[in-house]
Amino acid sequence: MTPQDVVRDLQLLLQSRYGLIHVDTEEDDRALSLLQHVGERIKVPLFTWSRIEGVHRVDRPGAIFDTKEPQKAMAHVAAADIPAIYHFHGMGPHLEEEVLRAHLKAGAKKLEEKDGGVVLTGTDIFFPPELDRMTATVVLPTPGEEEYRDLLAHLLRDLSQRQYVEVDLTKEEMAGLLKHLSGLTLMEAEKILTKAIIEDGRLEAEDIRHVIEAKKAVVEREGLLEYYPVEQTLADIADLATLKAWLGKRRNVVANPLGAQEYGLTFPRGVLLLGVPGCGKSLSAKAVSREWGLPLLKFDTSNLYNKYIGESEKNFKRAIRAAERMAPVVLWIDELEKAFAVGGTEDGGVSQRILGSFLSWMQDRKGEVFIVATANDIERLPPEFLRKGRFDEIFFVDLPDGETRREIFRIHLASRGQDPASFDLGALAAGAEGFSGSEIEEVVVSGLYGAFSEGKALTTDDLQREVAVTVPLSVTMAERIAALRTWARRRTVPAN
């Protein structure tokens, strides 16, 4: 939706006799600006309220006497007899007051007969049943590229009047800067850009780093998502050829969304990676964001749950809203089955309610959020996740074969300053049959510890001794892995 779409929708709701409207947004100033456009279109005055001034008309100085208190401000709306739009921000907590609710209901009912209404802005507003039935909700989307472009133009013009400002960006770098602003409010974007320009009087490609760091702070402020630093690429992952090819075919859709749209293609939805623990599922999630040039957010579902009624559901909504603000983005959900295990009833149904909300969002979401979910235990995963439409594809990640084990040894030796050519990789790969990638990594790490303690260079014999004393999961969990392979054979696509 564009700002013009929001203005049109608000105008239509007011003219359709909706006396109470909730604009779901954190950007109060932006919402107020759009309401001014609505008021001009339907030719009614716009009033706004603050605890400092009270109720005042936006195009005139002065406030209405004795309207600073929320209840008195709402009583004024109920008593007024003119067509108008009344804007209230921060009124959500006061809806618990019975008298205030009565005034709000009376004022909204009166305005239904005129071209006007009461507009409450904010997020996580709980409307009691008597108000909820008469409330229309409009979600204000995050700013689009044109809004960021206009903001930057105005900012450069204003700053240039105070100091010399040099813009050293190519067309592609400017597009990248605007893309990275996605998800920030206009106020947040203005502060970040202003700081970057004032520091050295320049706007350059290096300033994109300031935007990325600011977005990281915005995400981590919520405490539900982690902005994950990414170093790995798909080249750091041995094998998984089918998964790599699948991701490669969709890379251009991410890099060239307009061209993809002309082909009738939409942003990919996501993948579910099932398989044996330690075989590269989580590593793949990290690598996708690097290859596609998108931020990576890790959704720690253990932080969702709160002992207070309704707080867990609110946490989920905040996490999803934060992810959509950062779009386009890769959202990594590790060990999905732990958050939404089948059969969990001890939490009074909270898990099932969050599961229902999560499934609905996965099915209907419009934002460019690519989900990479991993799971180890298919028996604990709700069957709803396996339905077509939730994910673009379900991949099974199996234990590595001989050639892949050889490559895993090479990768981990090279990453730790060892020369892979000085080791018998073939013998190591043969001896580590049934080992997962993480188990091979631990063999290399343990071997290095031993060699370092003895003050000598690491050898093939050292690694073979570590292989010999390691009991892999393929042995300790043989029956479970066999059952997982049997289940996946006809239900998933092999990632290897």
Query: Which DSSP letter does residue 301 get?
Result: G
pLDDT value of position 402: 93
Which helix (H) or strand (E) is 114 found in, with range? none
Q: What band does 359 get if pLDDT is binned at 50, 70 and 90?
A: confident
By C-alpha distance, which of 234, 248, 228 is closest to 287?
234
Is 75 in contact with 106 (CB distance < 8 Å)? Answer: no
Helix axes 208-222, 186-200, angle to 10 degrees: 140
Does the bond joining 83 to the residue before it have cis omega, within 30 degrees of 0? no
Please say whether the beta carbons of 331 and 322 come within 8 A. Answer: no
Instruction: Report how far Cα 376 is from the mean position of its chain's Cα atoms.
Output: 23
Backbone angles phi, psi at 121, to 5 degrees: -115, 150
pTM for the structure as a whole:
0.69
pLDDT digits (tens, 9 = 90+) for 118-162: 999 998 788 999 999 999 999 888 788 888 999 999 999 999 998
Q: Residues 6 or more apart from 384 whose CB is under 8 A from it?
A: 355, 359, 390
**Which residues, listed in sequence order, are joined to residue 397 by a DSSP beta bridge?**
275
Distance of CA 187 to the CA centre of its chain: 20
Express each pLDDT in 381-392 by its tens digit.
777 777 777 888
Query: Which two three-digit tokens encode residue 178?
Result: 């605007």
DSSP conformational letter for 434: T
Q: Percentage of the chain surpassing pLDDT 90?
A: 45
**Nearest 5°: CA angle at 350, between 344 and 351?**
45
pLDDT at 234 over 70: no
Q: Is 369 helix (H, G, I), strand (E, B) or coil?
A: strand
Q: DSSP class of residue 380?
A: G
- Range list of β-strands (E), 186-336: 202-204, 225-227, 270-275, 296-299, 329-333
pLDDT tens figures, 314-332? 778 878 877 887 777 889 9
